[in-house]
């Protein structure tokens, strides 16, 4: 009985390692997306909306909400706040 418990534990560990390795293989993550904001700007908040990112940026000349497409790595829109 003890041998079966040890064998089952070893088998379980081997299966977890094999399946965990397959999930990581072939995944390419590209996270380069420049916001190109003036000096003194800071990110005040981030939210998701229909597969896009809404980034609230506090700038010296007023706030902005930048709409970004993370898959296409580009800015799709901009909303100016309180000018």
N residues, the chain: 83
Q: Distance from CA of residue 28 to its chain's centroid?
A: 12
pLDDT, tens only, 21-36: 544 444 455 556 678 8
The answer to whether the beta carbons of residues 62 and 80 sit under 8 Å apart is yes
What's the number of domains the chain is made of?
A: 1
- Structural domain including 35 reads 2-81
pLDDT, tens only, 6-65: 677 776 776 666 665 544 444 455 556 678 888 999 998 888 878 888 889 999 999 999
Which residue is listed with tokens 């939210």?
A: 47
Query: What is the three-class DSSP state of 76?
Result: strand
**Residue among 80, 77, 70 nearest 30 (CA):** 70
């Amino acid at each position: 009985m003890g041998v079966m418990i040890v064998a089952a534990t070893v088998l379980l560990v081997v299966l977890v390692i094999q399946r965990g390795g397959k999930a990581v293989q072939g995944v390419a993550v590209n996270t380069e997306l420049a916001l190109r904001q003036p000096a003194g700007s800071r990110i005040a908040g981030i939210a998701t909306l229909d597969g896009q990112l809404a980034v609230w940026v506090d700038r010296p000349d007023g706030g902005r909400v930048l709409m970004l497409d993370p898959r296409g790595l580009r800015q799709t829109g901009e909303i100016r706040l309180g000018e």
